[in-house]
Amino acid sequence: MIATSSIAQASAIATNTAMSVWAVANDFLIVLILLATFFLFAWYVGRGPFVALLIALYAAYAPYSIFPYISFLPTTPLLMAFLAHVGLYTAFVLVFFLILRRVIVSDFLYIGLFGLVILSFLGAAFLIALASNVFLIAPIYHFTPAISALFPTQYFFWWFAAPAVGLLFLAR
Neighbours of 25 (CB within 10 A): 12
Give tens-digit pLDDT for 74-111.
988 888 999 999 999 999 999 999 999 888 766 577 88
Note the pLDDT of residue 56: 96
Give tens-digit pLDDT for 7-36.
656 565 656 655 565 666 777 888 899 999
pLDDT of 165 above 90: yes
Note the pLDDT of residue 122: 95
Model-level pTM? 0.81
For the packed helices 113-133 and 2-45, what is the interaxial angle rounded to 10 degrees? 120
pLDDT of 63 above 90: yes
Q: What is the DSSP string of 44-68?
A: HH-HHHHHHHHHHHHHHHHHHHT-T
